[in-house]
Amino acid sequence: MTKQSIILGIESSCDETCCAIINQNGDILANVIASQASIHAPNGGVVPEVAAREHLSAMRPVITEALKQSGLTLEKINGIAATGGPGLIGGVLIGTMTAKALAFARDLPYYAINHLEGHALTARFTHKLEFPYLLLLVSGGHTQLLSINSLGQYERYGTTLDDAAGEAFDKGAKLLGLGYPGGPAIEKCAKTGNPESIKLPIPRQQYRDCHFSFSGIKTALANSVSKHSGPIPTADFAASLQATISSSLISRSEIAMERFASSATSEENKMTFVVAGGVAANKEIRKNLKSLAESKNFNMILPPLEFCTDNAAMIAWVGMEYHMIGKKTEFDFAPKPRWPLDQKASPPPGRGVRQ
């Protein structure tokens, strides 16, 4: 490894085509994102086939733009990383084939990166964070609590049995006629609402584990809306939905913090709690998580939002971590629609098999 290693990363597992270039100090030399949000908005969610076609046309311009932003040519790049899963397979295939082609043509190492590992290690370049730490990943595709022990060593404490928290916001917003993406719309609308006026059940309160379930909230909201007589108090429903999702995240995070603390080796230092994913943009949820963290002797870290949501800098960074220990991926790597971070984790109880 040379002193000035530089990795180019590609992310295309959902509805954003991204390319970033990073050096081994974690400096971002380029970070380009082509979002498809406006294309999917009329459908109220991501249409996989449409997403794949968009990735195909955006991939090359996004890489060209990243190189231009960095002022570098491909000759200066020391390795190519791309999300190899989990995610929508069409997009993952396009990113993987592009990365392999670039690496093969330039005789560079190729790194297939687990998208979740990208989120998990983001705070390592944004905050130069040392292992271990506790992570809450809360996005439109994932809701997980993980102990991030060291590179490649991740212990999943819990995951969702069905929908992700972001999905609950999106589906709730659709039901209330607030548009897509639902999270920001619900947050805005909730400001003038009373979270106490409509009661929605907080899922899985009877279980002392770290697993989530959000599909029931949507059903409870739908039932509550249909039973309501007179004009629908949208703000009250939005506030109640937000408060219920927040309470669920808080109660599971509390259990995870206790578990993490009980396995911590040192009792002197404050432990670290990282929150990542699009739902972390929600101010109410952030405030509640922060006070929980303080009460449990955790320092809460929230990477800047542009690196919390899907981006290629996190993929390039994980590529760099593996590059630094010389662990590249073979060219016969096959993209994985499912790829749990913790291969040893037992499946969550009930019907869920989400990663």
User: What one-character DSSP code corresponds to residue 264?
Assistant: -
Task: Single out the residue of 279, 301, 313, 320 in contact with ligand KG4 (rule: CB under 6 A).
Answer: 279
d(CA 21, CA 77): 9
Q: Is 143 in the site for ligand KG4 (CB under 6 A)?
A: no
- Give the closest residue to 8 by CA, choosing from 35, 38, 29: 29
Task: Single out the residue of 83, 139, 143, 160 in contact with ligand KG4 (rule: CB under 6 A).
Answer: 139
> 82 is written with which tokens?
């791309």
Footprint of Zn ion on residues 133-152 (CB under 5 A)?
139
Q: Is 272 in the site for ligand KG4 (CB under 6 A)?
A: no
- Give the closest residue to 36 by CA, choosing from 28, 24, 23, 45: 45
Q: Is 309 in the site for ligand KG4 (CB under 6 A)?
A: yes
Task: Single out the residue of 11, 117, 310, 321 in contact with Zn ion (rule: CB under 5 A).
Answer: 310
Instruction: Return the residue matching tokens 């231009």.
Output: 68
Q: Is 79 helix (H, G, I), strand (E, B) or coil?
A: strand
Q: Is 141 in the site for ligand KG4 (CB under 6 A)?
A: yes
* Contacts of 170 by beta carbon, 8 Å cutoff, 6+ apart: 44, 45, 140, 180, 181, 182, 183
* Contacts of 23 by beta carbon, 8 Å cutoff, 6+ apart: 4, 5, 6, 7, 29, 320
Task: Say if residues 54 and 306 touch (Cβ distance below 8 Å).
Answer: no
Tell me how crowded residue 155 is: count the other CB atoms within 10 A of its CB: 18
Is 243 buried (19+), middle (13-18) or exposed (0-12) by CB count in 10 A?
buried
Q: Is 96 in the site for ligand KG4 (CB under 6 A)?
A: no
Residue 187 binds which of ligand KG4, Zn ion, none (CB < 5-8 A, kind-dependent):
ligand KG4
Q: Is 44 helix (H, G, I), strand (E, B) or coil?
A: coil
Q: Is 182 in the site for ligand KG4 (CB under 6 A)?
A: yes
Q: CB under 6 A: which stretch of 58-66, 73-81, 150-158, 271-279 binds ligand KG4?
A: 271-279
Q: Is 169 in the site for ligand KG4 (CB under 6 A)?
A: yes
HEC secondary structure over 202-237: CCCCCCCCCCECCHHHHHHHHHHHHHCCCCCCHHHH
Kindly determine how many residues on this chain lie close enough to bind ligand KG4 according to the rule CB under 6 A: 19
79 vs 86, which CB is nearer to ligand KG4?
86
169 vs 339, which CB is nearer to ligand KG4?
169
Residue 183 binds which of ligand KG4, Zn ion, none (CB < 5-8 A, kind-dependent):
ligand KG4
Tell me how crowded residue 3 is: count the other CB atoms within 10 A of its CB: 6
* Minimum distance of ligand KG4 from residue 85's CB (angstroms): 13
Task: Single out the residue of 187, 302, 311, 315 in contact with ligand KG4 (rule: CB under 6 A).
Answer: 187
d(CA 220, CA 189): 19
* Minimum distance of Zn ion from residue 225's CB (angstroms): 30
110 vs 180, which CB is nearer to ligand KG4?
180
Q: CB under 5 A: which stretch of 2-10, 16-24, 131-139, 163-171 binds Zn ion?
A: 131-139
Q: CB under 6 A: which stretch of 249-257, 277-285, 321-329, 337-345 binds ligand KG4?
A: 277-285
Is 125 buried (19+), middle (13-18) or exposed (0-12) by CB count in 10 A?
buried
Q: Is 11 in the site for Zn ion (CB under 5 A)?
A: no
- Give the closest residue to 311 by CA, choosing from 15, 19, 60, 8: 19
Residue 281 binds which of ligand KG4, Zn ion, none (CB < 5-8 A, kind-dependent):
ligand KG4
Footprint of Zn ion on residues 36-55 (CB under 5 A)?
none
139 vs 143, which CB is nearer to Zn ion?
139
Q: Is 15 in the site for Zn ion (CB under 5 A)?
A: no
Residues that bind ligand KG4 (CB under 6 A): 14, 139-141, 166, 169-170, 181-184, 187, 277-279, 281-282, 309-310
In the complex, the residues that contact Zn ion under the rule CB under 5 A are 139, 310
